[in-house]
Structures are given as C-alpha cells and as structure tokens.
Amino acid sequence: MTDINKTIQQHKKLCNLVSERKIKQSLDILSDMMTNASSGDFHDEYDDLVMTYRNMLTYTIEGINDPERSKVYLKLIQSILELSDKVRQDILSHYSGWNTYWVKQQAEKEQKLTGKTLVETVDDLIFKTELDELLNLNSEINSDPESEIAKKHKQLIGNIFNHLWLTDYYGEAEESLIDIILHSGKFRWYESCIFTTAITLSSFRIWQPEKLLHLIAIYEYGEEQVMERALSGLILNLHYYNDRFLLYPEISSRISKMSAMPAFKEHCKIIVLQTIRSRETEDLSRKLHDEILPQVAKLQPRIEERLDLDNILPKDINEEKNPDWSEMFSDSEEIFKTMEELTRLQMEGADVYMSAFANLKHFDFFKDFQNWFIPFYPDHEVVDEIFRDEILGPGTNEMAEAMYKTPFICNSDKYSLILNLKYLPSSQKSMMLKVFRMELEGLQELGEDDAVADPNRKFRTSVTQYLQDIYRFFKLSPYRKEFEDIFTGKLDIYNSEFFRLTTNAAEAEAGLADYFFSKDFYDDALDLYLKQLKEKSDDAQLYEKIGYCFQQKSDFEEALKYYKLAELIDRKLWTIKKIGFCLRRLGRNEDALEYYLQAGDIEPDNMHTAIITGHCYLDLKEYELALKHYFRIEYNDPGNIKILRPIAYCYFSLGRFDESEKYYERLSAGKLNAHDLINMGHLALCRGRKKEAIEYYRQSIITGEITREKFMAIFAEDRNLLLSLGVNKDDLPILLDYLLFITG
C-alpha cells in the first residue's frame, strides 16, 4: 500500500530543495515519487526536464554563453514544481481515501456523463444550465428553503463551490465563472464569500499563480466581507508559498503596485496581526507549561524553594519589564494604532471561545464542507428553525440581528449557538433572548461614531471572524486531516517575502516587535529586535529588551551579555538589578551580590533590593550578613510571616538554636509547608530531641507536598550542615531507616 504521508513529506522536501536551487536532488525525489503515480505521461514530462537541465549544465561547464539561460532556468524550476504538484495530487487521489478526492471523483463522473470531459469554457460546466437559469431570473430567489427553485439554487451554489475548490488548474472556464460571480449581480454577498474561500482552498491544494490573481481581483472589486476574505486568503497563500511566489514575477509585481496604496498596506497589517494572534493558545500555553516553567524550576536553587524566598514580598512590578519601555508603544502608533485598539482586536476564538464551542460542531450542518466557511446572516435557513420555537420564535428577528452584528463571535460559532439553542431548557432560552437584546442595544449605541474613529473597524471585524472560522476548520473539522494545518508552527509572516513587499520593513518590524513583546511572544520579538541592532547599535533600550527576551527564554548567559551592553550605554538601576538576577541564576553568587549592593547604594530604601541582597548572602552562606537584610524587612513589614522563614533558617545554620526556635514558633502561627517541617525536624535533631525530629520528618512526607524519595534527597543535601552543627553521623542512617519503617 502506498504511504501517502511519505509522498506528502517528499513533496515538501522537493519544494525546499528547489528553493535552495538543489535541482539534481529535487529531480531524484521526483523520480522516486513517480513510482507510485498512475499516469505514464508524468515520465515523459520528467524525461524532458532532465534532458533540459543536463543540456543547461553542459553548456555552462563548456563556457557557452546562452543569453536565454536565466529564463530557461526559471521555467525549468517552475516546471519541476508543477510536475511534483501533479504527481502528489495523482497519488493522493488514488490512495488517500479522503473526502476531498471522493467529491472530486463524483464531479468528474458527472462531467463525463455530459460528454464534455474537459472543461475548457464556461459552457462545458455540468451546472451551466442552472447557472443560465439564475442569470436569466428577473426576480429574487424564493426565500422558502423548501421551494423547488431554492433547492436548485442551493445545489448550484454547492456545485460552483466544489468546482472552484477541486479544479486543479484554472483556465478560461474558471475565469469566466469568477467574472460572472463578481459582475452579474445575481450572487449574494455571502455566496461570493464562500466562492472566495473555495479559491483559497484550491490554491492551498495546488499552486497556480492565476488563483492568486483572482483573489487580488476579488479584493480590488471591493465588495464588503468578500474582499476581506480574498485578501486573507491571498496573504495566507503567499506565506504558505513563500519560497515559490517570487518565481512568478506577475504576482510579485502586482503586489508591489498594490503596496503603493495606504489602504492595502493597512489591510495587510490587520490580517498579519490577526493571523499571528490565532496561534496564541496552543503555542504559548504549550511553551509556558512544557518548556519555560519546568526549566525555571530546575534552575531554582533548592534553598530558595524550601524557604519560599520569592514570595516574601509582593512582586515588584518594576523588577519585571522596564517601566521606561512604556513609551515604546507611542513609536508604533502609526503602524498598529494604539495598544488599546490592539487589545480590542483580541477577539480570536482560540483563547476564549474555541474551547467553549469546540463541542458544538457535531451538528449535521457542519458535515457539509462549505458550511465551515459560510458567513452568518439573519436569513439563513438555520435561523428559520428557531421561528417555530414557542419561546425563541417571537424574538428570533432581534436575536438573529444581534448575532449578525456582534463582532465578538465568529460565524462558525454563531451557527453553533443557533443550532444549540433549541436544545436548551426554557429558562435558558429566555435568558439568551435577554442577552441578545442587550447586545443589540449596546451595538446600536456604538453606532457610527465608532466607525468614524476607526475607519477599518468593519474590515478588522470581518477579517477576525473569518480567520477564526478558518482556524476552527483546521482544528475541529472532520475533514481537517486532509489539509496541512496552516496554523501550526511559528506563523512568522513578518519573515515572508510578501511582508517585505507590502511594508516599510524596518518601520513595520519595529512596531511588530513591540507588539510581540507586549503579548509575551518573546521568540518573535527577539528575532525582530536582533535585526534592528544593525541600525540601532547604540540603543540601550533595545539591548535591554533583547536581554529581557533571552531572560524569559531562560537563556541567562545571553541575557547577561545584552544587559551588560545596555549598562555600558546607559547605566540604570533596573539594568543593574537584572544583571544581578542573571548572575544569581547562573550560580555566580559573589558577582550577583556585587550588583545588588550597587543597586542598594543607588536606592537604599528599596525593600525588594534589600531582600534579594539578603538572599545573595544566604546563597554564599554568609548568614550574619543575610540576617541584617532580613531584619530590615521584618522591621518595615512586621506583619509579614514569610520573612520569618529565612530568619529562622539563618539562626539555625549559625547554631543559634534558641533564636531559631522562637522564629519557627512564630512561623507555626501560619501554615507550615513540608520544607518548614524538615527544617524544624533538623532543629529538634540538633537539640537532641530525636523523637520530635522524627515526627516533624514524618509530617513533612504525609503532607503530600514531597515524596519519600524527595525527602531523602533533601536530607542528603543537608547532611554536612547537620554534622557541622554537632549531629552524630552514626545516628543518621538509623534515624532514616526508622523513618522509612513508620512511613511505610
């Protein structure tokens, strides 16, 4: 059986090799792919390509000057990619068993029955009769979904969608069909929307520059809600085919011309931002929980964890992002508006609504492929079903209108909500009606003033909802396995050739970098900040932000390097403390102490600096000096129980058991953790109270905070300290075995 996954991976590798101009290797892969193809015609095409390339190589080596060589080479590259696309499609259509190819094969069977296997002109289409009937219709389509004409119309829309989606290479027929859709006036806006998506999906399936040119034409036609989809599809395709589209000058030159229009550039920025934002849930959550937090936990000194040193004082917000950076957003207002507007754009369903609606995609409605992309509109037949509901019926118009207008829920989720309404209890139905009435009132209050303040509001809303719809299709649709998920990976559209063609790269990248930084996309921000260094080698704030990005990635060596460079240009308290922080994380405790002492000299009354200085002395086992700093905290914040923990530990480590015991007694007024109980056990052991020590150790294990294995590891770390404080080393193995017996 043919391994289709192998074919898909081979095709990707071939495309990458071609982009690197490794033509011989790409031809070898193509030859291997063809062993599974059904068509013999591919071999003839392949042999022609190999012969052309061998001749070119021979002429070049022999020094023959061919003025047409660059054109021939470009055509050769295009032909290799096109043939690989065809071979890939041939293998998938025969062996994948995918719905995509089943639908395609059904359409081809019907086409054969017409006697016109090849669709060359619009007259050859199997649905040409139905299309002519629509074009000749003088009145509106009957809104009753059960009427014969409405059923025929619905079937026509499905046929057009499937044709545009499943046609591998567009020709005169598709050009005429798209022209009819745009200019006949017979197709409603929401129908044009799904046709536009069909072109986008067709382009993902098989590259063809004409498809992108059609998307450009639809965008330039300017019909609301349709143009947004056309440009979104165009940008997603240009990013997907980043290594390919520059091989087609007709595309890049067209994009360059459009980039002279401010509206186009602004529209592109909106789509790029919203596309990048769509990955936030999966990408950042995974990184936070699987990478960043575990790494930080590994780097935390054990003593810091045990004494809960990080939580003695509330977080100092000035210890995090540099407060001086608040000005950075003013520099990027021209590019991405204000941060408040960017926050408003955070309607992306991946973080908020995705999980809420994920379980509401099981309705038969979503088994119809095109319904994943249909815009919500109040007259849809799904809404008609609600009219028959006793409770919902009277308020259906208001509810549908509110749902249509609300910018905060994507189209796919609006249909999910409507479909689920009829299954709700009566009380919840009534509540939903109230909610949507309030929503409609709120939206009406926004009115035209908001549109004047933000002329791109409608465009932004449509783009946001459409990208959410596509996101749900790729994540939740039963057909998702048949498509490469464009929302996986880094989605670094800002690194694509398209982005450079449509923006002032340096200016746009600066704004994007600060946006990424504000949203904690540190990998992306870092990429862009490092690019800026070439032009801003004396910008201290830039070095600070680069250092902070590395710090957030737990790369403390690199963070330290950039913080020190920032300090050389502009010495600030914040930077000094960050250098100290990195040094401490790297275990360079004496150096860290030096920087925190400098920070203390600059700002002697800062308690956060005082406490970290105390921690540095604790790291160095300079317990007397650590105590001096901890006492400052105790004096300034007498109700702070947490500061008692390191004070009690320092007294214990100094062998001043009476003082230590007093502080542990005060600490006992709060909740003791497992580490407190271990330290109190150590104290009892040093004072000769073995039974009491054993009981504390037992309690530390039964808290469930630590395992017996973790307890044994901690005890082994503390062994030398205990021996230095007078504990008999021969007692320790007996004591531990006794503990193991009683904790079973």
pLDDT, tens digit (0-9, with 9 covering 90-100), for 394-409: 777 888 888 888 887 8
Instruction: Give the residue from 492, 527, 490 showing the smallest Cα distance to 510.
Output: 527
Choose one of 245, 260, 275: the last residue of a domain. Answer: 260
173 close to 121: Cβ distance less than 8 angstroms: yes
Choose one of 604, 622, 650: the last residue of a domain. Answer: 604
361 close to 476: Cβ distance less than 8 angstroms: yes
- Tokens representing 106? 């059904």
Average pLDDT in the chain: 85
Question: Is 91 found in the same domain as 14?
Answer: yes
Question: Is 441 found in the same domain as 352?
Answer: yes
Question: Is 222 found in the same domain as 135?
Answer: yes
Question: Is 196 found in the same domain as 65?
Answer: no
Type of residue at 95: Y
Choose one of 604, 636, 655: the last residue of a domain. Answer: 604
In a domain, 648, yes or no: no
Gap between the Cα atoms of 375 and 383, Å rounded: 13
Question: Is 38 found in the same domain as 71?
Answer: yes
Q: Which band of pLDDT confidence, cut at 50, 70 and 90, is reported for residue 312?
A: low
Could you tell me the residue range of the domain that residue 595 belongs to?
288-338+505-604
Q: Is 45 helix (H, G, I), strand (E, B) or coil?
A: helix
pTM of the model: 0.76
Question: Is 188 found in the same domain as 41?
Answer: no
- Tokens representing 501? 């063609």
Gap between the Cα atoms of 204 and 89, Å rounded: 12
692 contact partners, CB below 8 Å, separation of at least 6: 681, 684
Tell me the pLDDT tens digit for each residue of 171-227: 999 999 999 999 999 999 999 999 999 999 999 999 999 999 999 999 999 999 999
Question: Is 103 found in the same domain as 89?
Answer: no
- Is 342 exposed, middle or buried (CB count within 10 Å of its CB: 0-12, 13-18, 19+)? middle
What phi and psi, each to the nearest 5 degrees, are found at residue 424? -80, 155
Q: Which band of pLDDT confidence, cut at 50, 70 and 90, is reported for residue 314?
A: low
- Residue 198 has a pLDDT of 98
Kindly state the greatest CA–CA separation across the chain.
Answer: 103
Gap between the Cα atoms of 433 and 391, Å rounded: 9
Q: Which band of pLDDT confidence, cut at 50, 70 and 90, is reported for residue 308?
A: low
In a domain, 265, yes or no: no
Q: What percent of the chain has pLDDT over 70?
A: 87
- Tokens representing 494? 């800002």
292 close to 552: Cβ distance less than 8 angstroms: yes
Gap between the Cα atoms of 31 and 24, Å rounded: 11
Tell me the pLDDT tens digit for each residue of 1-57: 678 999 999 999 999 999 999 999 999 999 999 999 887 789 999 999 999 999 999
Beta strands in 239-354 (DSSP E): none
Question: Is 409 found in the same domain as 294?
Answer: no
- Tokens representing 723? 């021996």
In a domain, 139, yes or no: yes
Question: Is 600 found in the same domain as 509?
Answer: yes
Residue 286: pLDDT over 60? no
Residue 339: pLDDT over 80? no
- Residue 192 has a pLDDT of 97
Residue 243: pLDDT over 70? yes
In a domain, 401, yes or no: yes
697 close to 711: Cβ distance less than 8 angstroms: yes
- Residue 282 has a pLDDT of 58
Question: Is 126 found in the same domain as 140?
Answer: yes
654 contact partners, CB below 8 Å, separation of at least 6: 623, 624
154 contact partners, CB below 8 Å, separation of at least 6: 145
Cα four-point dihedral sign 362, 363, 368, 369: negative
Question: Is 211 found in the same domain as 105?
Answer: yes
- CATH number for the domain spanning 295: value is 1.25.40.10
Domain count, the chain: 4
Question: Is 388 found in the same domain as 300?
Answer: no
